[in-house]
Structure 1
Amino acid sequence: MNNLFKYNQPFQLEAGGILPELELAYQTLGELNKDCSNVVWICHAFTGSHDVEDWWQGLVGRGKLYNPDRHFIICVNVLGSHYGSTGPLSINPATGEPYYHTFPFITIRDIVNSFDLLREHLGIQKIKTCIGGSLGGQQAVEWAISQPDLIKNLILIATNAQHSPWGIAFNESQRMAIEVDPTWKESHPQAGIEGMKAARATALISYRNYETYGITQARNDEPLGKAHRAMGYQRYQGEKLAQRFNAYSYYVLSQVMDSQDVGRGRGGLVQALSQIKAKTLVMGIKSDTLFPINEQAFLAKHIPGATFQALDSLYGHDGFLIESQLITKAIKLWKKFVRLDVNPMYDFFKRLEKKEVAV
């Protein structure tokens, strides 16, 4: 079910700005049980939406790991995004016009604080599982720190505690591509759209890797002067995003990702992560070049009792969206080991490869 939560009071932002009011588009699947113990809160990534069955259909749906017949599943479109929550194309109550370039700077913490308003509105006192990958994982880990007693199980995939200079450089390169679009200085919904196409093409390089392109976009002895497959792929990805997103939200959310630093104001990263009480599974993708696996190893090292699992995938960072079967197996095994109180640093997949366990 698609819903809209309206908060008609000023919302203070971490960087000092204020949203006079806010709206959050969200989806719920399934029914809340009597003791409210079946809540699964899924945090979406950069250009994702609250329609979690669409972008994570391998994990969510009837017969899947997160089944609405058993779970009450919530996914919320983040502030700044394109899919119904307050963002750059929303009307600014102070002016009666869309925000466009005047939309205030927001952070991961602002997004989490907005989630908490919705949670209170829904009367949810405990989240059984909070899960997210990439930007979604940044939200999940921030929430587990800011509200240590709220989340029972925390699952973090291809994410980090602090966004790296490497990741920030990729995002700044994408913002520069938007800025050189001559229409970017204008104020209309299509402003900067050609620049965003180039930005998305840049992003795809970081979402995949050398080996991915070598296989999926392999050269086929094209005649001189004919476009290579990789060229067409980059342009296709830019066009595809332009049909469903806008450059303002893209720009804003890239800055949101850069804001990630759970140690800010908390005595540093290690001190902040040590505050997490949730039982935690951290998964990293060995071929991820944007959120390298050492970032997930850092999370697992400093979150008390956390489990770390390295996943093999051809698809780099995008593996968290594509490798649903692999992720499902890892989560199921982790849940078994948590119940049995087995050493959380055990390597699940070594046992799988030896056929010592069945899923």
Structure 2
Amino acid sequence: MKSELKKMLEYLEIGDLVLENGTLIRNVRIAYNVYGNIDNAEKIIWICHALTANSDAETWWPEMIGKDEIFNTDKHAIICANVLGSCYGTTFECEEEKPLITVRDMVSAHQKLADSLKISSIDFLLGGSLGGMQCLEWSIINPDFIKNLFVIATNCKHSSWGIAFNEAQRMALELGEKGLDAARAIAMLSYRNYKTYEYSQVDDINAADDFSAASYQRYQGEKLRKRFTPSAYYSLSKSMDSNNVGRNRGSLEKALSKITAKTLVIGIDSDILFPVNEQQYIAKNMENAVYEQIKSKYGHDGFLLETDKIKTLLKKHFDFL
């Protein structure tokens, strides 16, 4: 069934785009995927992807999208667009040198794509991590356009802790050939946690070298290097650092208060990169938001892996799913 869902990557020219810093980008091209039929859909669902993911959301969230899944392609049209700065088909995919692309710029491109697709409103907008940042920003920029909202494992302003992790990764990228491997290895320490490694990377009691955790770090680095580019990783980490919904809006609280969508915010108890106090803060400062928390041994990566728990909470709060 899953193979039937796969769509060819689609491309659309959305015209010129002025970035937040004033840079004019001409003839922006967006790569995106659609599952289902936009014209006949009961609901339009838009998924914003995270740092190294892409617009083919079914490949990285397979238990969420399908004919018998919570995002049902028989009823819904599910759209995911590759973000500016990534290496999966959207403008800047091949450029080594990129301008600063903020989360706000990503959202501006999403809105222009939605307009080009003649979408008058989004029934359900959702995302985790960097995806959640885009969702919050979009819901502030155009609150009437977003009817329902779900964010998980994200924040409304990137923390000094998160920026420090990203800078360490960029320092690794600057080292050269294996820089992306090292950057990913650093990132994995923030995506998981102490208990995750104790649970998943187990060695023989007599081992003195060649430890499972060491092999795992190298494997994760090599795997990313085969499918991603250092320049995209560098650019998107800077984009994540830029996340601050309160910038030029008075305060975080004032910005969040602009969101009118019915909202579910989920925190993951073991997430050390986006701790639950960040999601609690988001929900507390929105008029129509509910906070829920899930237990997970997977840390930040729980937003990708704890799909059964996520689906249960989505069905609890959104009766159209």
TM-score per shorter chain, which class?
Answer: over 0.9
Instruction: Give the match for residue 7 of structure 1.
Output: 14
1:278 is displaced (CA, Å) by: 0.2
Q: Which runs of 5+ in 1 are unaligned?
A: 90-98, 182-192, 340-358
Q: Judge conservation of contact 1:286–1:310 (CA < 8 Å) in 2.
A: yes
Instruction: Give the match for residue 19 of structure 1.
Output: 25
The correspondence for 2:275, drawn from 278, 288, 292, is 292
2:187 is equivalent to residue 203 of structure 1? yes
Q: Judge conservation of contact 2:261–2:288 (CA < 8 Å) in 1.
A: no
The correspondence for 1:69, drawn from 44, 65, 74, is 74
1:4 is displaced (CA, Å) by: 0.1
**How many residues align structurally?**
314
The correspondence for 1:273, drawn from 256, 276, 298, is 256
The correspondence for 1:28, drawn from 31, 34, 58, is 34
Instruction: Give the match for residue 114 of structure 1.
Output: 109
1:231-290 Cα distance to aligned partner (Å, 9 max, x none): 000000000001100100000000000000000011110000000000000000000000
1:45 is displaced (CA, Å) by: 0.3
CA distance in 2, matches of 1:82, 1:303: 34
Q: Judge conservation of contact 1:37–1:126 (CA < 8 Å) in 2.
A: no
SS of aligned partner of 2:155: coil
Q: Judge conservation of contact 1:58–1:324 (CA < 8 Å) in 2.
A: yes
Instruction: Give the match for residue 170 of structure 1.
Output: 165
1:67-216 map, 5 Å? 67-89=72-94, 99-101=95-97, 103-181=98-176, 193-216=177-200
SS of aligned partner of 2:147: strand
SS of aligned partner of 1:85: coil
CA distance in 2, matches of 1:175, 1:332: 39
CA distance in 2, matches of 1:24, 1:208: 31
1:62 is displaced (CA, Å) by: 1.7
CA distance in 1, matches of 2:173, 2:286: 37
1:179-216 Cα distance to aligned partner (Å, 9 max, x none): 122xxxxxxxxxxx410100000000000000000000
Q: CA RMSD in A?
A: 1.4
CA distance in 2, matches of 1:327, 1:317: 14
1:18 is displaced (CA, Å) by: 2.4
Instruction: Give the match for residue 231 of structure 2.
Output: 248
1:219 is displaced (CA, Å) by: 2.9
Q: Judge conservation of contact 2:169–2:183 (CA < 8 Å) in 1.
A: yes
CA distance in 1, matches of 2:42, 2:104: 25
Q: Judge conservation of contact 2:12–2:29 (CA < 8 Å) in 1.
A: yes
Instruction: Give the match for residue 318 of structure 1.
Output: 301
1:224-235 map, 5 Å? 224=208, 226-235=209-218
Radius of gyration: which is bigger? 1
CA distance in 2, matches of 1:104, 1:12: 11
After TM superposition, the runs of 4+ consecutive aligned structure 1 residues lying more than 4 A away are: none
Q: Which runs of 5+ in 2 are unaligned?
A: 1-6
Q: Judge conservation of contact 1:206–1:289 (CA < 8 Å) in 2.
A: yes
Q: Percent identity?
A: 47
Q: Judge conservation of contact 1:133–1:159 (CA < 8 Å) in 2.
A: yes
TM-score by length of 1: 0.85
